[in-house]
């Protein structure tokens, strides 16, 4: 094992051949559930598919995702390994937030599981967090030495009872760790990508504050480390000044400049970040290729699950089309 990305990237290049072509998703949008299962049987997901119901698809997707990206940290050492682990643990961050929101909304465990995918947390820990009676119980379930979000969740709950503040503290802990690793590695691509991702986090938070008509001090919800969304722009957006988005017109976030609604923002952000991550596939060394691959596999898994739900419940194509494709 080495502490650079040379060997890891060679392995990732081989695995990229397993990524499903865009045509699979275009055809999949029109398929009945049985036909979608048949189509998956002709893909690398086939060996993980055992069953003919929606749960079988979810399990196959989870298994294949874990096989494709779960072992990547073991192919590298040192700060490079830590960076790959942190890239994978973004899914942990999303999953923890999802479970917390579900508890607030009183959703059943099965409803929560429908929205979880990927990450580094053992399934037993995920199950324990879902079954925990409250956020404090989640902390007990997440007592994993060395996990970047374990101590952060405990500290966040001790210092704030506001769910939005807890999420911001988790974001700050996660991105600080990964930014520090990117700087330690001297990885220009990863540093630039993270800046854009943090800008996206701040835009999303600002839109949510505006939607809730928050009238307090917005600064407490800002995550440092972005490049094009500063604290001033964040505060204006949080106050409901959505036209301030036009300030992004001459930046790499230009595709978001005309966005005015939260749902539209989240879809546009997802596509922008996928495009930015994809640029890493052209990097000769460093974390660019593995960043691109991890994000592509996570997106692929989410799209398959969306198509499976559309066909299983016989939903109209329009119900998921905007979530499956980037126009």
Which of 120, 124, 155 lies closest to 139 in space, CA to CA?
155
Confidence check: pLDDT of 2 > 60: no
Pairwise CA distance, residues 21 & 154, whole Å: 42
Whether the per-residue pLDDT at 1 is higher than 70: the answer is no
Is it the case that residue 225 has pLDDT exceeding 70?
yes
pLDDT at 235: 96
**What is the residue whose two structure tokens read 């640029």?**
279
| Number of continuous H segments (helices) and E segments (strands) in the chain | 16, 0
> Using CA atoms, how far apart are residues 38 and 86, in angstroms rounded to an integer?
35
Per-residue model confidence (pLDDT) at position 271: 96
Q: What percentage of the chain has pLDDT greater than the value 90?
A: 72
Lowest mean pLDDT among 225-229, 289-293, 302-306, 317-321: 317-321
Question: Is 194:225 a contact under the CB 8 Å cutoff?
Answer: yes
What are 144's two structure tokens?
């994993």
Average the pLDDT over 278-289 and give the result.
Answer: 91
* φ, ψ (nearest 5 deg) of residue 21: -70, 155
Model confidence pTM above 0.95: no
The answer on pLDDT for 14 being more than 90 is: yes
Give all domains of the chain, ordered by start, each with its CATH number.
188-285 (1.20.1690.10)
pLDDT digits (tens, 9 = 90+) for 137-148: 888 888 777 777
Q: State pLDDT tens for residues 86-124.
A: 999 999 999 999 888 888 888 777 777 777 888 888 888
How far apart are the C-alpha atoms of 98 and 30, rounded to whole Å? 29
């Amino acid at each position: 094992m080495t502490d650079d990305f040379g060997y890891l990237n060679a392995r990732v290049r081989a695995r990229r051949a397993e990524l499903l072509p865009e045509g699979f998703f275009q055809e999949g949008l029109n398929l009945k559930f049985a036909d979608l299962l048949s189509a998956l049987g002709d893909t690398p997901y086939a060996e993980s598919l055992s069953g003919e119901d929606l749960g079988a698809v979810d399990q196959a997707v989870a298994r294949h995702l874990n096989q494709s990206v779960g072992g990547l940290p073991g192919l590298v050492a040192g700060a490079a390994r830590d960076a790959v682990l942190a890239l994978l643990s973004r899914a942990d961050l999303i999953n923890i937030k999802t479970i917390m929101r579900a508890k607030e909304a009183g959703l059943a465990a099965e409803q929560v599981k429908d929205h979880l995918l990927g990450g580094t947390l053992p399934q037993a820990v995920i199950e324990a967090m879902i079954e925990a009676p409250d956020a404090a119980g989640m902390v007990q379930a997440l007592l994993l030495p060395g996990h970047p979000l374990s101590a952060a969740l405990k500290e966040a709950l001790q210092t704030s009872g506001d769910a939005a503040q807890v999420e911001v503290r988790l974001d700050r802990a996660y991105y600080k760790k990964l930014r520090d690793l990117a700087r330690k590695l001297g990885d220009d691509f990863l540093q630039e990508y993270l800046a854009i991702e943090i800008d996206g986090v701040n835009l999303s938070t600002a839109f949510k504050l505006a939607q809730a008509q928050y009238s307090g001090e917005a600064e407490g919800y800002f995550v440092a480390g972005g490049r094009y969304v500063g604290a001033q722009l964040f505060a204006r957006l949080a106050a409901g000044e959505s036209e301030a988005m036009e300030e992004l017109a001459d930046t790499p976030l230009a595709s978001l400049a005309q966005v005015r609604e939260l749902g539209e923002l989240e879809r546009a952000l997802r596509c922008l970040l996928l495009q930015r991550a994809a640029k890493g596939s052209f990097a000769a060394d460093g974390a660019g290729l593995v960043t691109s691959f991890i994000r592509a596999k996570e997106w692929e898994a989410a799209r398959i699950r969306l198509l499976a739900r559309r066909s299983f419940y016989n939903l109209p194509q329009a119900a998921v089309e905007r979530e499956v494709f980037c126009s």
